[in-house]
């Protein structure tokens, strides 16, 4: 396993990060199987594990607590706050001081740990002043409950604003940004990734396999498994839109051919592509099964040549998305009425 610095935090982390969104009711309800996946990842050299309070509404964090018994000190443990923990409870969400103070205690209890290595705002909260959010998170660092703080899915201008507020108001600053990035969804290359590089942020990329499209399991003429996300959540994973589905299916065949020429599997090609960006620290893999985990662990050994990267650029140009809806940053257009 290869390691690198997590921005300017001083923490050395693996270039693959184990994501646990699929642990529990949202993916794999077998706790023992999930624990085995964590142990296998750690044994393979992964030392960065990412979760969130909202993943299966706390179940993912509870599973991690079991898996990390006796190994907590060898792991950089990251979790997130901000997504709604109860759709009927408007105060159990967001980035207010009130909720952050409650949410961190809940996560610490579920994870059975005294501290978090990285605590991340899961999504932007336009209703809360960033000064309040950064102030609350700074207090957590001073209290020893959190070692570093980060954000997720911030547009470039919000990354800059957060850095400015931290400097002017004397707060701890976000040192890590988590963003979506894959060979099929490259919008982050236009502004977010360069901005993170400018401020020396560590960057964790999620969905490097583009919701399963770059695993090779969705191929032309092949039936989709009934338990697949393509069936369970077709609209979110680009299977409900016929035009997008056709475009991605055709590209998968071309990407698979390039992977074959490069001497690697399609998921290894996709992960190696994400890791090839100079501002990317670690790519988050989110396996649901032990088989999926094994298929992705070898990606760190793959080095894509400039010729291979050029072939990928020709299929999906830099800064573009196969599906424009993959960009989390809607254009700021005023809608009246």
Distance from C-alpha of 52 to C-alpha of 198, rounded to nearest angstrom: 27
> Could you give the 3-state DSSP secondary structure of residue 61?
helix
Closest of 244, 260, 246 to residue 185, by C-alpha: 244
Residues noted as catalytic = 55
Distance from C-alpha of 210 to C-alpha of 183, rounded to nearest angstrom: 8
CA atoms within 13 A on the CB side of 254: 15
Helix (H) or strand (E) holding 183: none
- The alpha carbon of 75 is separated from its chain's Cα centroid by a whole number of angstroms, namely 17
CB 308 within 8 A of CB 257: no
CB 102 within 8 A of CB 94: no
Distance from C-alpha of 326 to C-alpha of 112, rounded to nearest angstrom: 35
Helix H, strand E, coil C: the string for 187-200 is HHHCCHHHHHHHCC
Q: Which residues partner with 14 through β-bridges? A: 3
Closest of 207, 191, 157 to residue 332, by C-alpha: 157
Distance from C-alpha of 58 to C-alpha of 275, rounded to nearest angstrom: 29
Render 197-259 in DSSP notation, one character per residue. Answer: HHTT-EEEEE-TTTTTGGGT-S-TT-PPPTTSHHHHTTTTTT-S-HHHHHHHHHHHHHHHHHH
Distance from C-alpha of 93 to C-alpha of 86, rounded to nearest angstrom: 8
């Amino acid at each position: 396993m290869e390691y690198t610095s997590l921005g300017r935090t001083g923490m050395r982390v693996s270039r693959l990060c184990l994501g646990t969104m699929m642990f529990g009711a949202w993916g794999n309800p077998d706790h023992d199987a999930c624990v085995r996946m964590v142990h296998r990842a750690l044994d393979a050299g992964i030392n960065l594990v990412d979760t969130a309070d909202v993943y299966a509404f706390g179940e993912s964090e509870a599973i991690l607590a079991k898996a990390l018994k006796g190994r907590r000190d060898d792991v950089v443990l990251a979790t997130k706050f901000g997504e709604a923990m109860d759709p009927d409870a408007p105060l159990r969400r967001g980035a207010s001081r009130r909720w952050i103070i409650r949410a961190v205690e809940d996560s610490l209890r579920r994870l059975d740990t005294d501290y978090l290595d990285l605590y991340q705002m899961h999504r932007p909260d336009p209703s809360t002043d960033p000064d309040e959010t950064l102030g609350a998170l700074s207090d957590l660092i001073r209290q020893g409950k959190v070692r570093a703080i980060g954000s997720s899915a911030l547009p470039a201008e919000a990354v800059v604003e957060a850095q400015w507020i931290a400097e002017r108001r004397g707060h701890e600053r976000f040192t890590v940004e988590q963003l979506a990035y894959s060979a099929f969804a490259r919008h982050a290359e236009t502004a977010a990734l360069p901005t993170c590089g400018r401020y020396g942020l560590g960057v964790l990329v999620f969905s490097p396999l583009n919701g399963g499209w770059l695993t090779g399991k969705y191929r032309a003429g092949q039936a989709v498994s009934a338990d697949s996300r393509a069936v369970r959540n077709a609209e979110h994973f680009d299977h409900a839109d016929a035009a997008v589905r056709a475009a991605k299916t055709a590209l998968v065949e071309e990407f698979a051919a390039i992977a074959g020429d490069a001497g690697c599997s399609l998921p290894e090609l996709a992960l190696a592509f994400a890791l090839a960006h100079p501002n990317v620290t670690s790519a988050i893999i989110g396996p649901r099964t032990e088989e999926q985990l094994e298929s992705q662990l070898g990606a760190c050994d793959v080095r894509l040549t400039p010729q291979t990267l050029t072939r990928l650029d020709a299929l999906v140009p830099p800064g573009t998305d196969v599906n424009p809806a993959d960009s989390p940053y809607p254009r700021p257009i005023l809608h009246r009425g």
